[in-house]
Structures are given as structure tokens and as C-alpha cells.
A and B are shown apart, each in its own frame.
Chain A
Amino acid sequence: MLYFLTHVHTPDATWEPGVEDRVEAWWSEMAQRGLALDGARLDMSGGAWCVRGKDKDAVVTDGPFAETKEHVAGYDIIEAADLDQAIAAAAAHPTTEAGAIEIRPVAPGMPAPELTEAKPGHERYLMLVCWDQHDDVEIRAEDLPDDGEDPMRGWLQQTGERRLHGWQLQPPALATTVRRLDGTTVVTDGPFAETKEQIGGYDLLEVSDRAEAIAIAAAHGLQTRDLRPVMG
């Protein structure tokens, strides 16, 4: 199964020395085992923008989609046999010592992403698509539209190769959050924060500048789009 891992921690979280090396070691081990497919840290000092509305009616505001104590600091995409393996992988990551990792299964039928080299002179942005999914239970294969009926088809064509990959996620009711407290793994049901709007999908964009990323988000037109720069 494919899982989207959202790393969160408080902006003033203190990290033990050498944590960078441990994050690197985690990534190498998970990639070698075939678990980690893609992932990145977000530039937390680089700002966040919210885009609502479509095209010329789009409104851009500064700040993330929801005011939460813990901030989205990075993501990983993993392929695991089951939730227990995903929990074990998350629990081994240093993020769970100072913050938390939310594990969200990916909606059925989504293709695995291919890792690509960064294009010179380009920036990457993570676009989180967020909406109120309070009553949503589970997306089944038969619930998803056929390609011909996909309302995002036009946007996908228009965005082309500037969109590296993206997934729709299972709703927050299927989320699991992992923390480590005093050396033990603490697993809880649900997303990392009880906000009205929740992450429902994401797209990874590679563009020449922020204005281009915002234009792509404006053309998307559905729900709330939250844009953040990915660390190079």
C-alpha cells in the first residue's frame, strides 16, 4: 500500500545535534528497502501561501491553510506492506521525537511517483489541496471518476510536466499519527490536528518561480490550495 507521510513539528522544536545525519540515514535505509519512494523537507522560513478561487478570481493570502500549533515541515511517500510497517518506518524517523508524523493512505489506483533530478534554475513547491472532509469515510476504487470524467483533466494537461506527481489521499478518518515519547512509540487515531480543513491531496510542482506556482494553483480552482517551497 502507498502512504503519504506528513511531518509536523512546532516551529521552535529543538533538535538534538546530528539529527541531519540521522534523517539522511533514515532516508537511505528506507530507499534501499524499497519503502521510501520520494520525500523532501519544506523550507519553513520560506513562507506559505493559500490560494482560493479560480484564475482571475483567485485570492492569494499569506500563511498556511490552517493555524495549528504544529507546522507541516516535510513529507515522505512510502510503499509499505501494511499500516504496521508504515508505523514502524515513521517511528524510526527523528521527526517523531520532536513532533509527529501523520500517516495517510493514498486513494486506490494512484500511480507510484518517479523520483526525478531537480531541473537547474527551477524551484519546487508542494501544493496541498485542503477541504472539509469531516464526514468522509473511505474512497473506494469504484468511487473515483473514469479518466474521461475527471474534472481535473484540463488542469492536468495545462500543467503538463511542471507537475511532477500528485495523489488524492484517503480522508482524515483513515489517518494515524505517530509520536515517540520517552522512547516508546505512541500511535493515535486521526490526523495531527483537528482542523476544519484537512489535507485531501497534494501535487508536487517544479516551476521557474513562485509566481508560476501561484498561477498553477489559481488555475486548479478547486478547494483551498496551500503552497510551500521545498528545500533544494
Chain B
Amino acid sequence: MTRPEEQSPVAPVFAAEWGRLVAGLIAWCGDWELAEDGAQEAFARAVERWPVSGMPERPAAWLATVARNAIRDRLRRSDTERRRLTLATADASVAVDLDWADAEDIPDERLRLIFTCCHPALAMPARVALTLRTLAGLTTAEIARAFLVTEPTMTKRLVRARAKIRGAGIPYQVPSADRLPERLPGVLAVLYLLFNEGYAASSGDQLHRVDLTREAIRLTRQLRSLLPDPEVTGLLALLLLTDSRRAARVRNGHVIPLAEQDRASWDRGQIEEALSLLDGVGGTPGPYRVQALIGAVHAQALTAADTDWARIAGLYQLLPATPVTELNRAVAVSMAVGPAAALDIVDAVAEPLAAYHLLHATRADLMTRLGRTADARASLERAIELAPTTPERRLLRTRLAALTD
């Protein structure tokens, strides 16, 4: 089973309705595999029929009815205890309305589906795979390619995830209001990881990889429309701001640092949307919103030299003070105040980050600006030893060479 072809009239309906259809079917019959099979069958039928008979007046309702009938047929043909039970549950739950005549009447169960796919009792790779399969409607083969594993491996991962949901009793529900603050970060972490996975791969071979950044932004938009939480809005703004720099980020296979990017090629539409999203929320910002606000400062600077570093340094203080955020704050402080003030912050995190190449690279930069060339050289040499990739080592060697001249 594949998704409808791009040019098929069914494709836009698939993109808009897959997640909602599956979510509703799971709520109806309680069985994830059956729900997905039913939804697939409904779309397969649509691909066959719609080009001939035209699009039905209410496509969502049409799909839901076809999917339910398909599931019913399948249940009647099978005779295991589990399936008999499922049929009994489903029949009891739909005594009211069998036809879903009006799409507006179909309850939107996607929020339940999101929280269940991203349940903390599932391992992160399982959460990501389930979200892409069940909510976004990517095929197992597409997800396997996106994460560079074989299709049987991805199939096994999905089978195990569904077995855990069923066998361990992971509930199909939105957490209660008092649990929501504890559970929402787990959902946002999945969407953020999904985006980064796509973003990091954006310089690689795009031919056969689905655009994970696009899926992550789409899913975050959906989540925000269902749950307008300030931190969800913050994440959406952060993803849009990061994505707006995508075209400027790579030139001839080289990663271009923020300060050297061509700002004219940043996507203004995405930036404007993110800025207005951020304007619309108040209160103490959570970690994603703080990162979005930092991104917004960069986005609003006409040139790298115009950057409001004092504001960025202040925003970093709103993040939980981990050694890595402190190191980032030090960079901002060095620009806003000066290298000496930044060096104190770097020294304070030198021990936990002793094996992190960027600690030594940052220290080298500060030493250079303070005129301590010998110290700068020693730090750069250490950074080169620790740098994990060739392009990063190449960049550091260029700096070392510049220092010697």
C-alpha cells in the first residue's frame, strides 16, 4: 500500500484527513492495526472511484463510512477472540450514528492519538515512527528510508510499539489537566526531533527522503490548532524560524555559519508568521519559546553586526542552566559585553565540557580577541583533536592557520 500519487485528486484529502480518520477509527474500534488497515482501504477505494465518479460532497464522511464498513467486513471474516471483542466494542459504541453523514459531526480524536503515540512509556524511536505512520500517514518504507534503517526493521519497531500500547494498557486519551504539563514536553520533543532529523539531512540526498521538516511543521500546526498552548506556539515559531534559513544554510556542500549567511535568501514569509505567533503569546516562556525568541532576534537583524546580543544573552538566562546553554550564553555575552566577561562563564563550565570541541573553539575565539595568541592556539589544537566531523576540523584548521599569520 502506498500513498495516493501527488497529482491524484485524493492526495490533498489524504494529507488533510489521514490522521483524523485513523484517530477516529481507533476511538471507534480500539484496535490500531485494524484502524490503519481500514483507513488504507478507504483511500485505496477513493483513488479508484473519485477520478471516475467525482469527489463526494463530504470526502471525510465518505472515507469514514467506507473505512468502517471495511473494518466490519474484516472482523466478520476473522474469528479470533480479540477481533470478536473488538467488534462487540465497536458495535456498542456506534449505536447512535452508523453513517457519519455529516463530517462536522465526526469528533476530532487526533489529540488523543498524538498523546498516545508520544507516550513516555514508549522509546523515542518508537514514538517518532508511530507519529509518522499513524498521524502523518507516511508508509513504513518511507519512514524506514527517512531514518536509514531497513523496512523490516521499521515494521518490527511499529509492531512492537503497537503491542506495547495494547499489552501494557497505554490509554487512548488526552492526559488530565494536572498531568498535561508533565506530558506535553514529551510530545514536543518528538516533533522537535523529527524536525532536526529532517533539517540535519537537508544537505544530503533528498531524492528518496521524505521532507521530515515539512511533516514536523505540519504536525506542530495541527497540534497548535487542537491545543493552543504557549509552548506549542513557541515550538511552531522556532521550527518556522529555523526553516526560514534553510536555503542560506548550505553553499556548495559547505555549512555556512549564521553570521556569514546571505540574509536576503531567508524566507520572509516564514519569519513574519513566526514573529506574529510570538507576539500573540505572553507569560514566562518555556524552553522552546525562548529558543524561538532568540531566533527572532537574529531574524530581525538586517546584518549580523546589527544583532541585539544583549537581548540574546538575557534570553539564554531564561533557559535551564545546562553547561551547553551556558556556553551559548557566553558567546552572546562576548558580543554584548566583551571577551573577558564571557571567559568567566566559559571557565565555569570548562570541566563538564572538557571533551566538547566547541568549548575549546569558543575559548580560542575569546583568547584571540584578548590578544592571548599562544592560549588561543593551544585551545584550537585541542578543539581540532576533539572535533567529530571533517568539515568542522577543516574550519578549525583555517582559523589556526589565520592565527599563525
Contact = CB atoms under 8 A, between A and B. Distances in A.
B167 to A, nearest CB: 4
Contacts of A133: none
Interface stretch (B116-124, B285-293, B357-365, B385-393): B116-124
Contacts of B182: 184-185
Contact of B169 (A105, A139, A185, A189): A105
A1 B169 CA distance: 7
B164 interface: yes
B81 interface: yes
B322 interface: no
A87 B123 CA distance: 16
B122 A189 contact: yes
Interface string B370-394: 0000000000000000000000000
Interface in A114-172: 137-142, 170
A83 B308 CA distance: 48
A3 B159 CA distance: 22
B82 A173 contact: no
B314 to A, nearest CB: 25
A19 B350 CA distance: 39
Interface in B166-203: 166-171, 173, 175, 179, 182
A86 interface: yes
Contacts of B159: 137
Chain A interface category by residue count = 20 to 34
B222 to A, nearest CB: 23
Nearest to A3: B169
B168 A170 contact: yes
A140 B171 contact: no
A142 B81 CA distance: 7
B126 interface: yes
B82 A176 contact: no
Given A84-B175, A185-B182, A138 B167 contact: yes
A190 B123 contact: yes
Chain B interface category by residue count = 20 to 34
A177 B159 CA distance: 21
A174 interface: yes
A17 to B, nearest CB: 28
A187 B166 CA distance: 18
Interface in B120-139: 120-123, 126
A82 interface: yes
Contact of B121 (A87, A140, A170, A184): A87
B81 A137 contact: no
Nearest to B166: A138
Interface in A18-60: none
Given A142-B80, A185-B182, A189-B121, A174 B126 contact: no
B78 to A, nearest CB: 12
B123 A140 contact: no
A137 B160 contact: yes
B80 A176 contact: no
A189 B82 contact: no
A83 B82 contact: no
B259 interface: no
B171 A105 contact: no
A176 B171 contact: no
A1 B163 CA distance: 15
B168 A174 contact: yes
Contacts of B120: 187-188
29 contacts: A3-B169, A81-B171, A82-B170, A82-B171, A83-B119, A83-B121, A83-B168, A83-B169, A83-B171, A84-B170, A84-B173, A84-B179, A86-B169, A103-B168, A105-B169, A138-B163, A141-B81, A141-B82, A142-B81, A170-B167, A170-B168, A173-B164, A174-B163, A174-B164, A185-B182, A187-B121, A188-B120, A188-B121, A190-B123
